[in-house]
Amino acid sequence: MMAYEDKINGGFDFLVNKMGMESSMFARRPALLSLSLEKRIVPRCGVYQVLLSKGLIKKASSLRASLESTEKLFQNKFVNCHEEEAPELVKLYKEKLELARYSWAMKIRRKVD
């Protein structure tokens, strides 16, 4: 049970304190707390921050939408359609996903050893 609580606290802390998401959002969208910090939240937030800094998205609903989207929809709506304005997005997103996969593999490996 402690691992699940750590997961929830980690995602909540990151989204509220680092990304500026309103804590009340979790009451309306509790499924956000079940998302993987390493595999979904951090990679997608990296893309979100680049798009926001370039003025390519609006802050209000884009963060929530980017997190809740399926992988295919996320890539189409937030990565691929901005390739011209922000060509580094594809590389950034792939790097963050690879890092998440590597971290996940290392955790599995530690459990087996």
Give domain limits for the chain: 2-112
Which residue shows structure tokens 């951090």? Answer: 42
Model pLDDT, residue 71 = 93
Structure tokens at 84: 């011209």
Which residues lie closer than 8 Å to 108 by C-beta, 6 or more apart? none
pTM confidence score: 0.80
> CA 20: distance to chain centroid?
13
| Residues 21 and 63: beta-carbon distance below 8 Å | yes
Model pLDDT, residue 68 = 94
| Residues 104 and 73: beta-carbon distance below 8 Å | no
Model pLDDT, residue 90 = 86
Cα separation, 99 vs 103, whole angstroms: 6
Model pLDDT, residue 111 = 59
Binned average pLDDT, 10 residues per bin, the chain of 113 residues:
76 92 92 90 91 85 89 93 88 84 61 56
